[in-house]
């Protein structure tokens, strides 16, 4: 069984709509996948319809940004109920926070001599969950930078002059929301930032899993996080972090890498136990 539990659509910062993503999933010969858009579940229902028609299983997912000691982390939620009222209320608040953050970033860019219209960025985000990747694409379009990687390296990445952190959601808040929606919480791509010191606190907050398999994890990092998961009693997740095109931080196609079938089985069993607790 080929399983990829980390992908994005145009509902957040991906380049493919739900139907096109499902077509890419089918072309990659996946049997199970998850849509994990940033701070939204808007694409889940449409993706589920197309996936079901092709006999492919969709795991409802989400990726939430949260902070630990003023450092931003990404948490993946799996088997969440995309209709849960508490989750949807939380996401409405996050959408507004993203728009407020965009205005602050645009103000900082104007000071640097780069005037960008809100409407142009929001059009790329389809007036939904706007993020730094949308702004980076506009900077490329305007000729201020040559690539989205350059946009992050020079202006939008952490510690850069137009970077604005989101300090309004703690990792405990994000994990709680996922649990309330019947889901499991996994720490996304921990090897990208080498922040293992936070993991004990995340476990205390209820973390269920860690993403050991990721396109930017070397075999050594994958083995490291598998061992760490075993020591901490955590499940293991993984996926391509596919956004629709190859770049520095994301897989070039679905299924690169896949999560081993036996790890998905453990995750699925834990989700069933969580669901029984929520009933």
Question: Helices 171-180 and 85-111: crossing angle, nearest 10°?
Answer: 150
**pLDDT tens track for 204-216:** 999 999 999 999 9
- Say how far apart CA 48 and CA 46 lie, in whole Å: 5
**pLDDT tens track for 77-111:** 999 999 999 999 999 988 888 899 999 999 999 99
Structure token digits, residue 110: 């104007």
Q: Where are the alpha helices (DSSP H) in 85-217?
A: 85-111, 118-124, 132-141, 148-151, 171-180, 199-204
Which pLDDT score is estimated for 95? 85
Buried b (16+ CB within 10 A) or exposed e, 115-149: ebeeeebbebbeebbbbbbbbbbbbeeeebbeebe
- Say how far apart CA 218 and CA 223 lie, in whole Å: 9
Buried b (16+ CB within 10 A) or exposed e, 19-52: eebbebbbebebebbbbbbbbbbbbbebbbebbe
Instruction: Judge whether residue 248 has pLDDT over 80.
Output: no
Tell me how far the alpha carbon of residue 239 is from its chain's centroid: 11
Handedness of CA 66, 69, 73, 78 (dihedral sign): negative
- Say how far apart CA 246 and CA 80 lie, in whole Å: 28
Taking phi over 0 as left and psi of -120 to 50 as alpha, with beta for the rest, 206 belongs to left
Confidence of residue 126 (pLDDT cuts 50, 70, 90): confident
Which pLDDT score is estimated for 102? 94
Task: Say whether 163 sits in a helix, a strand or coil.
Answer: coil
Helix (H) or strand (E) holding 218: none
Instruction: Judge whether residue 127 has pLDDT over 80.
Output: no
Domains of the chain, start order: 3-84+171-278 (3.20.20.140), 92-156 (1.10.150)
- Say how far apart CA 67 and CA 76 lie, in whole Å: 14
The whole-model pTM stands at 0.82
Nearest by Cα to 136 from 248, 13, 45, 226: 13
Which pLDDT score is estimated for 267? 98
Query: Tokens 């070039």 correspond to what residue?
Result: 252
Nearest by Cα to 112 from 165, 151, 166, 149: 151
């Amino acid at each position: 069984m080929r399983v990829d539990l980390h992908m994005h659509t145009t509902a957040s910062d991906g380049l493919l709509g739900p139907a096109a993503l499902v077509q890419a999933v089918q072309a990659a010969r996946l049997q199970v996948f998850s849509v994990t858009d940033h701070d939204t579940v808007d694409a889940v229902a449409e993706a589920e319809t197309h996936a079901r028609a092709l006999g492919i299983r969709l795991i409802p997912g989400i990726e939430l940004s949260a902070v630990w000691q003023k450092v931003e982390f990404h948490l993946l939620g799996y088997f969440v109920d995309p209709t849960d009222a508490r989750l949807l209320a939380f996401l409405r608040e996050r959408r507004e926070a993203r728009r407020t953050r965009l205005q602050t970033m645009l103000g900082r860019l104007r000071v640097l001599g780069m005037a960008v219209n809100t409407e142009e960025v929001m059009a790329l985000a389809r007036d939904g969950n706007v993020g730094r990747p949308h702004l980076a694409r506009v900077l490329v379009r305007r000729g201020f930078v040559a690539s989205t990687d350059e946009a992050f390296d020079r202006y939008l990445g952490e510690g850069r002059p137009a970077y604005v952190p989101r300090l309004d959601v703690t990792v405990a808040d994000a994990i709680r929301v996922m649990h309330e929606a019947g889901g499991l919480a996994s720490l996304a791509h921990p090897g990208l930032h080498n922040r293992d010191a936070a993991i004990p606190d995340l476990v205390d907050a209820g973390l269920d899993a860690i993403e050991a398999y990721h396109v930017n994890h070397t075999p050594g990092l994958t083995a490291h996080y598998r061992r760490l998961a075993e020591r901490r009693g955590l499940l293991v997740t993984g996926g391509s972090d596919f956004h629709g095109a190859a770049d520095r931080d994301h897989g070039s196609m679905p299924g690169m890498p896949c999560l081993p079938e036996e790890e998905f089985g453990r995750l699925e069993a834990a989700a069933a136990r969580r669901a029984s607790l929520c009933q």
